[in-house]
Amino acid sequence: MSGKDVNPGDFPLALWPPSASTEAVQSDHLILGFTVLTLLLTVPIFLAIAWFAVHFRAGKDVHREYSDKRNRLLEVSWMLVPFLLTLIFFYWGAKLFDIHKHPPADALRIEAIGRQWMWKFQHPGGQAEINDLHVPSGEPVMINMISQDVIHSLYLPALRVQMETLPGRYTQLWFTANRTGTFRLYCSEYCGTDHSRMGGLLTIMSPADYAQWLRQSGTSISLASQGRALFSSYGCSGCHGAGSAVRAPSLAGLYGSPVPMLAGGTVVADSGYIHDKILDPDRNLIAGYKQVMPAFKGVIPEDRIVLLTAYIKSLSPAGQDTQPGQAGPERTP
Ligand SMILES: [Cu+2]
């Protein structure tokens, strides 16, 4: 275990939380820079208002005549200069937003499920944890998340990242931590009675400590292999398996490839598509098949959809790199 740099109970009201990534520091610079600019633009106005209020107060003998002196250059410049200055922040903010929206393709992928009132995290090797999250430092980590019930929001203040978890739709956030330590994680979207308890600790470990933590934490059955077991226990293999009497599409090679739709056009089979197809197969009907698949909405919880998707993913070359070895392709004709 790495040393604990921060004791989460120590500074419950710290206004400036510790930062644990270079992107976090960049966000801080943006916020500080914008605060300074806002002060530069507003403080002189408030000082002037105060001065005018005192100087021109009722009863004081001062010059109050209308003046027709005009300085066009001055008037244009005090609109244009603040506009251009704030525009810099628009580009700066958009650039950071763009970085936050595009996780690197080789990022370590951790699945998160929010539900009233807990977080569940699933690592690719199958290790699962509740409320606490362990991640390695020095490498990009992408958290792919969804909600089992209402809207939640995963907030990792030390990394300055926060993302809503929505029912029925995957959202992502990513970061590369640059130090080890223990920090807080929260749900930052009011989600019911025990919302305030929906949080835990984020532990950032050195890659070696993380590898050791993975080895020590329970199951060594990968998400894909757990998914393969579910694939037969839910009866999916009865239709999608080799030699099935039902005419159902082969799921080998599905992940990442375009699927022709009955309504025309194609849809690329990503996690979101597979998720929707399992829960509500009557939506997005596929060309060339008779839809006989039962809807699994309300039957299969989100954390198991993640496992099934990991299994289906492992049947494709596109999913091989993230789920090495474990599940051998089970090809259907
Ligand atoms: Cu919540």
Q: Name all domains of the chain by residue range, CATH numbers in brackets.
A: 1-9+17-47+72-220 (2.60.40.420), 223-320 (1.10.760.10)
- Non-local (6+) Cβ contacts of 148 within 8 A are 113, 114, 115, 116, 167, 301, 302, 303
Ligand 1 center from residue 154 Cα (angstroms) = 8
- Average pLDDT of 127-147? 93
Q: Which band of pLDDT confidence, cut at 50, 70 and 90, is reported for residue 185?
A: very high
Percentage of the chain beyond pLDDT 90 is: 49
The whole-number pLDDT of residue 256 equals 87
Confidence category of residue 13, pLDDT binned at 50, 70, 90: low
Rg of the chain over all Cα atoms, to the nearest angstrom? 27
For residue 89, what pLDDT band results from cuts at 50, 70 and 90? very high
Asked if 20 contacts 158 with a C-beta cutoff of 8 angstroms, the reply is: yes
| Residues with C-beta atoms within 5 A of ion ligand 1 | 152, 187, 191, 198
Cα-to-centroid distance, 166 and ligand 1 (Å): 10
d(CA 169, CA 161): 19
pLDDT given at position 323? 37
CA of 61 from ligand 1 middle (Å) equals: 62
Tokens of 155: 């907030």
pLDDT band at 219 (very low <50, low <70, confident <90, very high): low
- What is the CA(190)–ligand 1 centre distance, in A? 6
Predicted local confidence at residue 298, as pLDDT = 86
Give the burial class of 7: count Cβ atoms within 10 A of its Cβ; 0-12 exposed, 13-18 middle, 19 or more buried. Answer: exposed
Confidence (pLDDT) at 331 = 30
User: Separation of 130 CA from ligand 1 center, angstroms?
Assistant: 13
**Which helix H or strand E contains 133, and what residues bound it?**
strand 133-136
Positive or negative: CA dihedral 128, 226, 155, 37: positive
| CA distances, 278 to each of 176, 238, 300, 304 (Å) | 32, 15, 9, 11
pLDDT at 50: 96
pLDDT at 36 over 80: yes
Q: Are 239 and 232 in contact (CB under 8 A)?
A: no
pLDDT of residue 328: 35
How far does the centroid of ligand 1 lie from the alpha carbon of residue 22, in Å? Answer: 27
Q: How far is the CA of 219 from the centre of ligand 1 (A)?
A: 27
Q: Residues 110-125: what's their mean pLDDT?
A: 91
Q: How far is the CA of 188 from the centre of ligand 1 (A)?
A: 7
| CA 138 to ligand 1 center in whole angstroms | 28
Q: What residue type is assigned to position 165 of the chain? A: T
Is 147 a residue whose pLDDT tops 90? Answer: yes
Cα 12 from chain centroid (whole Å):
24
For residue 154, give the H/E element and its range.
strand 152-156
Mean confidence (pLDDT) of the chain: 86
Ligand 1 centroid–CA 165 distance in Å is 9
Angle, helix 72-101 to helix 22-55, in steps of 10 degrees: 160
144 pLDDT above the threshold of 60: yes
Q: What is the pLDDT of residues 258-276, one digit of tens each?
A: 998 888 888 889 899 999 9
pLDDT-derived band at 189 (thresholds 50, 70, 90) equals very high
Distance from Cα 199 to the centre of ligand 1, integer Å: 8
Distance 226 CA to ligand 1 centre (A): 27
Res 15 pLDDT > 80: no
- Nearest C-alpha neighbor of 148 from the set 285, 311, 279: 279
Question: Ligand 1 centre and the CA of 220: distance in Å?
Answer: 29
Threshold 0.75, pTM exceeds:
yes
**Tens-digit pLDDT profile for residues 92-107:** 999 999 998 999 989 9
pLDDT value at position 243? 78
Identify whether the C-beta of residue 312 lies closer than 8 Å to the C-beta of residue 254. Answer: yes
pLDDT of residue 220 exceeding 80: no
Q: What distance in Å separates the CA atoms of residue 143 and residue 120, rounded to the nearest whole number?
A: 11
In order of 194, 277, 279, 317, 319, the CA distances from 286 in angstroms are 41, 10, 15, 22, 22
Q: Give me the pLDDT at residue 14, please.
A: 64
In angstroms, what is the span from residue 163 Cα to ligand 1's centroid? Answer: 11
Distance, CA 76 to ligand 1 centroid (Å)?
48
Residue 135 has pLDDT above 70, yes or no: yes
- Using alpha carbons, list the distances in angstroms from residue 176 to 22, 139, 205: 8, 5, 12
Q: Report how far residue 127's alpha carbon sits from residue 323's, in angstroms, rounded to the nearest whole number.
A: 14
Question: Could you tell me which residues come within 8 angstroms of residue 67 by beta carbon, excluding any fewer than 6 positions away?
Answer: none
**How far apart are the CA of 113 and the centre of ligand 1, in A?**
10
If you measure from the C-alpha of residue 137 to the centroid of ligand 1, how many angstroms do you get, rounded to a whole number? 26
Mean pLDDT, to the nearest integer, of 51-71?
A: 88
Output the six-digit token pair for 183. 């920090």
